[in-house]
Amino acid sequence: MRDIRHLLLLSLSIALLASSACRKPAPPPPTEVVLFSAADVPLDPSHTAWQGALEFTAALIPQDLVEPRQLTPSTTAVRVRALTNGVDAAFRLEWTDPTANDLPGAARFSDACAVQLPSKIEATVPAPQMGEAGGAVEIVYWNAAWQAVVAGRSDSIKELYPNAAIDHYPFEAPSLQQSPASQQAMTTRYAPARAVGNPVAGPRTTAVQDLIAEGPGTITSAPATASRGQGVRTAAGWAVVIVRPLPKGLAANAPAQVAFAVWEGAHEEVGARKMRTDWIPLALRGNP
């Protein structure tokens, strides 16, 4: 009797094993952002090449470590795909955002996102929040208002406030039109941030900026912006591709980290008021 029971149990477990082997199990969610190899890295977020990369969903947490802190959460997650052609690393960020905020103004904030990597790929990883002294991070920042300018919005107050009435700009005086150089000099004088070459000040040719930081409050423009970026509105929010040089030292056997941040303009997020991820493992992989 005991032997029969044993036999029954054995056959039942074999049957269960067999049935589970027939059903295809759902793949476990990825635990790392993987840079898949591709012949080319497309800047267009809707390019089909992106379907060849597995999507990683990164949970976002409020930046509540340094003032000004973000005390109420907004965007909950950002979905990331990554591709590399061996020269560049491209990240496609997609997140849900029902309101498109791409107009600047005293109280209008732009939707934005950023990709952060340590400046050096090594065993010691800098602090995930903007790095730390001696542990620099490289950040590529994309901004919806910049994207709108790159897409053709002109550098005019009428684009922001259609009913604005302007009677005169001194640098547009007819007397100056004979002398483009002095006209340009005067125009620049009335745009102080441009006059001193602040890269955020425009005139704008790219929707992204390369930055370096060594801790909160230290973010500085990189000497030049080598990265490229393009963002588009989707039915539910934004899809943004950021293409930056492949970090030196990144190899299949060298563990690396990446972090992301998203700013929701409608929630008045800017600077330190943002949703961010912790470091996420970043891996180099062949085709999926």
List of residues contacting other proteins (CB under 8 A): 64, 66-71, 104-108, 145, 155-157, 160-161, 164, 166, 168-171, 187, 189-198, 200-202, 216-219, 268, 270-272
Least distance to other proteins, CB of residue 237, Å:
23
| Nearer of residues 108 and 233 to other proteins, judged by Cβ | 108
Which distant-in-sequence residues (6+ apart) come within 8 Å of 265 by Cβ? 99, 101, 102, 108, 109, 110, 111, 112, 144
| Nearer of residues 49 and 186 to other proteins, judged by Cβ | 186
CA angle (195 as vertex; 182, 199 as ends), nearest 5? 135
As separate numbers, helices (DSSP H) first and strands (DSSP E) second, the chain gives 5, 14
Least distance to other proteins, CB of residue 70, Å:
8
| Nearer of residues 4 and 107 to other proteins, judged by Cβ | 107
CA angle (287 as vertex; 281, 288 as ends), nearest 5? 70
Least distance to other proteins, CB of residue 174, Å:
16
Least distance to other proteins, CB of residue 173, Å:
11
Least distance to other proteins, CB of residue 274, Å:
11
| Nearer of residues 14 and 200 to other proteins, judged by Cβ | 200
CA proximity to 95, closest of 259, 264, 211: 264
Q: Which two tokens stand for residue 194?
A: 């441009």
Q: Which two tokens stand for residue 102?
A: 């791409």
**Is the CB of residue 110 less than 8 Å from the CB of residue 145?**
yes
Least distance to other proteins, CB of residue 34, Å:
32
Sign (positive/negative) of CA torsion 179, 180, 181, 187? positive
Which distant-in-sequence residues (6+ apart) come within 8 Å of 281 by Cβ? 31, 32, 33, 255, 256, 257
| Nearer of residues 107 and 252 to other proteins, judged by Cβ | 107
CA-based radius of gyration for the chain: 25
| Nearer of residues 38 and 139 to other proteins, judged by Cβ | 139
| Nearer of residues 1 and 166 to other proteins, judged by Cβ | 166
Least distance to other proteins, CB of residue 217, Å:
5
Q: How far is residue 64's CA from residue 116's CA, in Å, rounded to a whole number?
A: 18
